[in-house]
Chain A
């Protein structure tokens, strides 16, 4: 099949320990506080692998449990179902139950009967078939996707089960281009999408783009919406009628959502059983974490993400529950004002000062704080929950490794060498965005300034409203609006490092937070975008991480362990690996209904 996939195939035989795999995986838990649905994805190593068919999974599962109702807390999409206009994790997560993409991300699961996680490392984020059953790429810029045989829209008004056509996909692409607020940056490489025959779609690229299939499979981008809804924005926002594994039965804002399984979904397991295995999904809106925890331990929810400070309680109350420990694929980091690079403005125009900032940070203490003393890893620019991560203290980092260990004396010396005995700076963060979704964000933000002060960087906390001051596209701090001082932020999870690095280093990109314009970084990112070989791509990602460490444009911080739990009577569960959990993980989730309390 594709050159783009060669790197995946080379890793399919390599199994890894559960701990190692978990360290590399998982967007989910803390990231999104996404619907705590977990399940299996699996995947073979063939050129067009059947999704969710890891051999170990099938062997371990034997005869699957069929039926039952999966209950989990819903992050309320607030009556916005159009993930093109409102590409937030709550909307994307809700979409993933009802809608399809052409490809989706492979998803891991953990069979509790086996000692290791049943998914090879390189399978994480591997694109697998969704609405497209297979594809070919006759040349580097042409991809021909063949749609699933007999694919139908949900048998609900206004689609009423009509067959999916290639024109529907073309329409969805046109809608994506017109509706997407960021004008579709991630898929800007696409030149055209055209229908070919009765069941094929051809995508032509402007130029070769290595991560194309991975980006196409991302839950952040091309959802296949029907023309009947895209032509009616109100309808598109008020209901979801797609081709996904679940049919929306009801949604009440602030109360919850319910889905039934889609009996017409195309996917089957290795034994010929149709998936989804569960009959129904019942997701109440529960905004209070203590309430969610109580519901879970009382057996009224099948899964939940568990904050680090509650994991001890969970293990003592429910020693039999399945608990999956992972580092979320989510970067937390500090950055500096654009004026430091655009106008050579002091003091952060000097990389010695930026290194001093990094040296002042006690990352070990932050890990303890963020994880509830459950441990974690130091992030690099690619976060420690992601496959392309380079340990910042490894020898591959060269001299830059020293800047990830706390050394107050060294920090002071660097400041002094740069001409500063001390610095008075503002330390900016948004304090009203992540209280529930990323509960460690605010405590970490509050812990950093005292660390900086020990090194002579007198940081004064300045908090910001998330919507109006942080992510306001017109001058928000996250979008290049930092006037002075240091900002602490999170970076949206991605399924290929090019997406994040392209944001961060491409001049003019909205998410180039500090307006960095460094030809070395630009060149490396371009090379990464064009690279189709996994090993070479990974080496490039390593080089970019090292180069960032050398210049410390962005100061990566810490990846604490997070926890996802599921009930003892469930099988084939996993930490969600993307916001596409509805079609990636959930269809293979199994419930032993004889032990479920309803």
Chain B
């Protein structure tokens, strides 16, 4: 297992190299000059002003030098200074990562808690009303975009009951009650969106597993349905489901970008949007690199989890 993990870690290097290169280059291909963005709309700059600002920001050096600094800095945990705010990106990230992480984790938990039991139920009651309702609901949940659902959650409770969500963010540690009150709605919206796909896969996998010989054997031994499903079938069902959950991480990240705006949550999504509008390269690079790292490490974690979930799997 250790060898496997080490090999996977080494394989991450080209992946991250590719990601960092893209992350570095793409913002620089956007039209316009970051200098204007930083200085503001009213500044008539001379060529000298522009050159000085670019020099101060290190933007006058060859791209490969800038890239090298970015990579070396990232390795050291230095993600550079925000061009807009003129302070280290890590300072903002320290505040914003926990916010988005909390939202994402809550969404995943909600999604899984809804999807797995319902998917299992749909499978063991195949072609019943429960199954039909579950399958239809799953498709609907996949089809409904989270930003639309978010807007509906903002608008309709207000129209019906003059009720509005909180908009003053409090960290979990300063005020857990207010924090959860604010986060639960966007997390539920994201989680419900995720649950559709997980639910469908859980149902399909469970149906397949239930047709396996060892499950038939379990039935023939006279075991109770609960024991057959939960102890014998579910564990094998969860292997591909776990993979799918990991693959939902980028979906969660994308969802937070939109929902953080709607629900006034000061997380990474809102930060990334602001940075993208301002062409704040270091922030865009840092946030996307971070997202890439989360995805890459999540995939590794999932693969490692296989071994735990399925004793037949052995890594070499």
Contact = CB atoms under 8 A, between A and B. Distances in A.
A309 to B, nearest CB: 13
A284 interface: yes
A465 B37 CA distance: 11
Nearest to B168: A284
B154 A294 contact: yes
B37 A78 contact: no
A88 B43 CA distance: 12
Contacts of B50: 474
Interface in A395-414: none
B164 A467 contact: no
A297 B43 contact: no
A139 interface: no
A78 B159 CA distance: 32
Nearest to B33: A468
Interface residues of B, number: 42
Interface in B282-298: none
Given A181-B44, A254-B270, A290 B36 contact: no
Contact of A255 (B33, B40, B266): B266
A298 interface: yes
B164 A473 contact: no
Interface size class of A (residues with CB under 8 A): 35 or more
- Most interface-central of A297, A313, A472, A510 (chain B CB within 10 A): A472
A239 to B, nearest CB: 14
A205 interface: no
B164 A285 contact: no
B271 A254 contact: yes
Interface string B261-279: 1111010001100100111
Interface in B228-265: 261-264
Given A287-B264, A468-B36, A182 B42 contact: yes
A291 interface: yes
A273 interface: no
A473 B41 contact: yes
A79 interface: yes
B90 to A, nearest CB: 15
Given A286-B264, A317-B162, A181 B168 contact: no
B85 interface: yes
A15 interface: no
Contacts of A476: 36
B43 A298 contact: no
Contacts of A253: 85, 92, 266
Interface in A255-279: 255-256
A288 B271 contact: no
Given A300-B164, A465-B32, A255 B169 contact: yes
A471 B155 CA distance: 35
B65 interface: no
B66 interface: no
B155 A286 contact: no
B42 A256 contact: no
B163 interface: yes
B39 interface: yes
Contacts of B261: 287-288
A294 B164 contact: yes
A469 interface: yes
Contacts of B271: 254
B36 A473 contact: yes
A465 B154 contact: no
A527 interface: no
Contacts of A473: 36, 41-45
A235 interface: no
A290 B155 CA distance: 7
A156 B108 CA distance: 45
B165 interface: yes
Contact of A181 (B32, B39, B84): B39
A252 interface: yes
Given A254-B271, A285-B264, A468-B31, A294 B42 contact: no
B151 interface: yes
A181 B154 contact: no
Given A88-B40, A285-B264, A317-B159, A291 B45 contact: no
In terms of DSSP, what is the predominant structure of the interface of chain B? loop
A439 interface: no
A298 B163 contact: yes
Nearest to B42: A181
Nearest to B150: A288
A510 B42 CA distance: 9
Contacts of A291: 154, 164-165, 167, 262-264
A141 to B, nearest CB: 27
B21 interface: no
Given A252-B266, A255-B266, A297-B164, A469 B31 contact: yes
B84 A78 contact: yes
Interface string A496-518: 00000000000000100000000
Interface in B74-112: 84-86, 92
A543 interface: no
A317 to B, nearest CB: 7
B227 interface: no
A299 interface: yes
Contacts of B84: 78-79
Nearest to A182: B42
B158 interface: yes
A468 B32 contact: yes
Interface in A538-552: none
A569 interface: no
B266 A298 contact: no
A254 B266 CA distance: 5
B264 A288 contact: yes
A186 B33 CA distance: 27
A465 B31 contact: yes
A298 B164 contact: yes
Interface in A6-57: none
Interface string A205-225: 000000000000000000000
Contacts of B274: 78, 254
Contacts of B40: 85-88, 181
A297 B162 contact: yes
A252 B39 CA distance: 21
Given A182-B44, A468-B37, A288 B31 contact: no
A295 interface: yes
B32 A295 contact: no
Contacts of B162: 297-299, 317
A282 B277 CA distance: 27
B158 A297 contact: yes
- Most interface-central of B154, B164, B266 (chain A CB within 10 A): B164
Interface string A231-242: 000100100000
A181 B43 contact: yes
A510 B30 CA distance: 25
Contacts of B44: 181-182, 473-474, 479, 510
B41 A88 contact: yes
- Most interface-central of B40, B44, B50, B84 (chain A CB within 10 A): B40
B132 to A, nearest CB: 34
Interface in B162-184: 162-165, 167-169
The 5 closest A-B pairs by CB, nearest first: A468-B32, A298-B164, A181-B43, A294-B158, A254-B266
24 contacts: A85-B40, A86-B40, A87-B40, A256-B168, A284-B168, A286-B167, A287-B261, A287-B264, A287-B270, A288-B151, A290-B154, A290-B155, A294-B157, A294-B158, A294-B164, A297-B158, A467-B36, A467-B277, A468-B36, A469-B31, A472-B33, A473-B45, A479-B44, A510-B44
Interface of B: 30-33, 36-37, 39-45, 50, 84-86, 92, 151, 154-155, 157-159, 162-165, 167-169, 261-264, 266, 270-271, 274, 277-279
Given A288-B154, A293-B158, A294-B157, 11 more contacts: A255-B266, A287-B264, A288-B262, A291-B154, A295-B164, A298-B164, A467-B37, A468-B31, A468-B37, A474-B33, A476-B36
